[in-house]
């Protein structure tokens, strides 16, 4: 059985189609990354899958429960961590956890709360007000609260926004632990390094699912070619390459330049021209996930934009 299996999901707000015909499946025990630019419909898709929003069209099941008929059953077995911290800032860590434990009918609540505090290293801070915690600790509390009832599916909406690298690393270790224990995880993110930690990734832009697969598959599917230019003339070469055919992206990385294009022959010609004109060394490079995503982003139209702007 697949943990998530939804077909042709559509969600509209007014005349804006925020989720446009998305078909998505996630295997049990898998960590599935959900990527896409801001406002691309990631949050809405996640909300549909945890029963918070009713889709306008499409069907499917989450944990074997029907998306339309069994929203309450889905809620009971899904842990959903919202993008914005959404626990009670005027309650302490412990009080927030007690609230959640009682709401899920976890009995005895005391044991569940104590174990969860222990597991996530929150015991020493349990009497602190949630509102006074730093970003990393808030995130930890939110994670604690949504895994306490041992959900089968964990939906995380940009969980690591504004969290320092060490806390992020620890967070991801925790996620991998949970997945190893059989929990299915779906996580949305903007960070490429996080995307690379997922078993599979799905890329959504402006409501449409553009690609899914493992990181390698997604990179391969994109069919991009990359050259790395390094040397003193990189700056000047960058200016010249912008006007060349076949060059889709130029991104400086320290002293070197990533030049990415879809058409290998055109790209090669342009890069060779640059290496003749300027003082740069040119070698074929590895296309990164970021290159792929930027390519997808520049290629899709913004469905939220006003119609008259879209025509331009």
Partner 1 sequence: MNHLFSFSRLFALLAKEMTQMMRDRITFGMMIGIPLVQLALFGFAINTDPKQLPAALVTTSQDQFTRAIVSALEVTNYYRFDYVGISAKDADELMLEGKVSFIVTIPADLSKRVLRGDEPQILIEADASDPSASSGAVSTLSTVAKQALTRALGTQSQQDSQLDIVVHRRYNPEGISQYNIVPGLLGVILQLVMVMMTAMALTREVERGTMENLLAMPATPFEIMLGKILPYLGVGAVQVIVILVAAKMVFHVPFVGSLALLISGILVFISSLVLIGYFISTVAGSQMQAMQMSFFFFLPSLMLSGFMFPFKGMPYWAQMIGEIFPLTHFLRLVRGVMLKGADLEAMRSPMLALMGFTIILVILSLARFRKTLD
When binding is defined by CB under 8 A, the residue of 21, 25, 71, 236 that contacts partner 1 is 71
- 3 state DSSP class of 236: helix
- Contact string (CB under 8 A) for partner 1, positions 101-120, x = contact: xxxxx-x-------------
1 binds partner 1 (CB under 8 A): no
176 binds partner 1 (CB under 8 A): no
Q: What is the closest distance, in whole angstroms, from the C-beta atom of residue 127 to partner 1 in the complex?
A: 13
Contacts of 35 (CB under 8 A, 6+ apart): 42, 188, 189, 190, 195, 201, 202, 203, 204, 293
Contacting partner 1 within 3-62 (CB under 8 A): 47, 50-54
User: Per-residue b/e over 97-113, b at no fewer than 16 CB within 10 Å?
Assistant: bbbbbeebebeebeebb
Taking the C-alpha atoms of residue 65 and residue 3, their distance in angstroms, rounded to an integer, is 10
Question: Which lies closer to partner 1 via its Cβ, residue 41 or residue 285?
Answer: 41
Give the total of residues touching partner 1 (CB under 8 A): 32
Question: Which lies closer to partner 1 via its Cβ, residue 100 or residue 229?
Answer: 100
207 binds partner 1 (CB under 8 A): no
185 binds partner 1 (CB under 8 A): no
Residue 195 parent element (H or E) = helix 192-195
Question: Which lies closer to partner 1 via its Cβ, residue 88 or residue 253?
Answer: 88
Could you write out the DSSP letters of every residue in 45-56?
A: HHHHHTTSS--S
Q: What is the closest distance, in whole angstroms, from the C-beta atom of residue 14 to partner 1 in the complex?
A: 12
91 binds partner 1 (CB under 8 A): yes
Contacts of 182 (CB under 8 A, 6+ apart): 28, 29, 152
80 binds partner 1 (CB under 8 A): yes
Q: Largest Cα–Cα distance in the chain?
A: 74
Binding site for partner 1 (CB under 8 A): 47, 50-54, 71-73, 75-76, 78, 80, 82, 84-91, 95, 98-105, 107
């Amino acid at each position: 059985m697949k943990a998530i299996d939804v077909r042709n999901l559509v969600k509209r707000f007014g005349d804006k189609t925020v989720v446009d015909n998305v078909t998505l499946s996630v295997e049990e025990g898998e960590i599935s990354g959900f990527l896409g630019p801001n406002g691309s419909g990631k949050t809405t898709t996640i909300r549909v899958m945890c029963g918070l929003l009713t889709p306008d069209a499409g069907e499917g099941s989450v944990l074997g429960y029907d998306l339309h008929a069994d929203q309450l059953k889905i809620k009971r077995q899904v842990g959903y961590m919202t993008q914005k911290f959404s626990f009670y800032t005027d309650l302490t860590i412990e009080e927030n956890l007690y609230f959640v434990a009682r709401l899920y009918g976890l009995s005895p609540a005391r044991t569940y709360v104590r174990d969860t505090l222990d597991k996530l290293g929150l015991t020493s801070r349990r009497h602190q007000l949630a509102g006074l915690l730093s970003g990393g600790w808030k995130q930890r509390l939110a994670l604690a609260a949504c895994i306490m009832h041992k959900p089968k599916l964990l939906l995380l909406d940009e969980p690591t926004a504004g969290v320092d690298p060490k806390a992020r690393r620890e967070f991801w270790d925790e996620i991998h632990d949970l997945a190893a224990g059989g929990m299915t995880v779906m996580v949305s993110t903007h960070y490429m390094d996080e995307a690379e930690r997922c078993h599979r990734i799905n890329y959504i832009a402006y409501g449409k699912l553009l690609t899914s697969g493992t990181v390698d598959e997604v990179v391969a599917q994109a069919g991009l070619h990359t050259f790395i230019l390094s040397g003193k003339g990189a700056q000047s070469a960058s200016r010249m390459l912008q006007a060349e055919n076949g060059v889709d992206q130029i991104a400086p990385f320290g002293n070197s330049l990533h030049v990415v294009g879809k058409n290998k022959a055109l790209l090669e010609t342009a890069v060779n021209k640059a290496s003749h004109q300027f003082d740069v060394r040119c070698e074929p490079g590895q296309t990164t996930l970021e290159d792929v995503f930027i390519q997808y982003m520049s290629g899709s139209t913004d469905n939220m934009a006003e119609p008259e702007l879209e025509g331009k």
